[in-house]
């Protein structure tokens, strides 16, 4: 189902197919559609506009070089870009080499996030779910996600048992999933 913003505009899959043929116009359209998502994620992780711009550039260049890495049958491009952006930004934050090739990142997500309005509604929903979590669970999830902290580091910082930290992170992710299944 196309949302109001994407009606009449090429679908993500058509634009990604264009990338495979070297169509720079398709890349420009995808950039205009998703650069705000990628930049926001990179900036949230890195807290530095210059570094976030570098990640923005790198992520879209990776998409340009390997458009086949995105599996349209499994999820939305917005979700896929968000995941590889967050992973790359965390790699930079933690000063480690990229651990995962983008071709190995398969993301399954149900919501249609092609339109900015859809993403805004989804973001609001996520904030509501996070707001409803126990403070300890939300903190564990956010430390793992936005700071790239391991469960060991989180356990050391919060004084919580390792197993508890692990379970809180998983349950936090599952809570987000359930919110979008209803």
Partner 1 sequence: MTEHEQYADDLALYALNALTGEDRSRVEAHLSTCAACRLELEHLRGDAALLALSASGPRPPQRARQRLLNALTAEVKIQPAHTSVTSHRSWWGVLGWAAAAAVLVFALSLWRENLALQGMLASAGSRAAEDARELDQLRKIAAPIIEPESQRITLVAMKTPPQPQGKAFYLRGRGSLVFLASNLPPLPPQKAYELWLIPPNGAPIPAGVFKPDAHGSASVVNPPLPVGAEAKAFAITVENESGSAAPTSPIMMMGAGE
Which residues, 43 to 62, sit near partner 1 by CB under 8 A?
43-44, 49, 52-53, 56-57, 60-61
Q: Does 127 bind partner 1 (CB under 8 A)?
A: yes
What is the rounded distance in angstroms from the CA atom of residue 181 to the CA atom of residue 72? 20
Contact 155, 140 (CB under 8 A): no
Q: Does 82 bind partner 1 (CB under 8 A)?
A: yes
Contact 119, 12 (CB under 8 A): no
Distance of closest approach, residue 10 Cβ to partner 1, in angstroms? 15
Q: Which residue has the tokens 């968000």?
A: 82
CA angle 46, 29, 72 (to 5 degrees): 80
Task: Write phi, then psi, for 29 (nearest 5 degrees).
Answer: -65, -40
Distance of closest approach, residue 43 Cβ to partner 1, in angstroms? 5
Q: Does 28 bind partner 1 (CB under 8 A)?
A: yes
Distance of closest approach, residue 176 Cβ to partner 1, in angstroms? 5
What is the distance, to the nearest Å, from the Cα of residue 33 to the centroid of all Cα atoms in its chain?
14
Distance of closest approach, residue 73 Cβ to partner 1, in angstroms? 11
Question: Which of 70, 78, 68 is CA-nearest to residue 114?
Answer: 78
| Binds partner 1 (CB under 8 A): choice among 83, 102, 114, 155 | 83
| Binds partner 1 (CB under 8 A): choice among 2, 22, 68, 101 | 22
| Binds partner 1 (CB under 8 A): choice among 2, 13, 161, 177 | 177
| Binds partner 1 (CB under 8 A): choice among 109, 112, 158, 160 | 109
């Amino acid at each position: 189902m196309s949302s109001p913003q994407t009606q009449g505009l090429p679908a993500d899959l058509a634009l990604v197919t264009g990338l495979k043929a070297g169509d720079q116009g398709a890349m420009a359209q995808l950039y205009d559609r998703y650069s705000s998502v990628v930049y926001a994620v990179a900036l949230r992780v890195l807290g530095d506009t210059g570094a976030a711009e570098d990640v923005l550039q790198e992520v879209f260049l990776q998409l340009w070089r390997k458009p086949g890495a995105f599996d349209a049958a499994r999820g939305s491009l917005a979700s896929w870009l968000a995941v590889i952006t967050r992973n790359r930004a965390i790699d930079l934050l933690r000063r480690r080499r990229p651990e995962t090739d983008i071709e190995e990142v398969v993301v399954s997500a149900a919501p249609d996030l092609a339109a900015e309005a859809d993403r805004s509604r989804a973001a609001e929903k996520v904030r509501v779910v996070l707001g409803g979590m126990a403070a300890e669970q939300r903190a564990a999830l956010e430390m793992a996600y936005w700071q790239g902290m391991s469960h060991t580091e989180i356990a050391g910082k919060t004084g919580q048992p390792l197993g508890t930290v692990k379970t809180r992170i998983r349950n936090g992710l599952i809570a987000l999933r359930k919110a979008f299944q209803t």
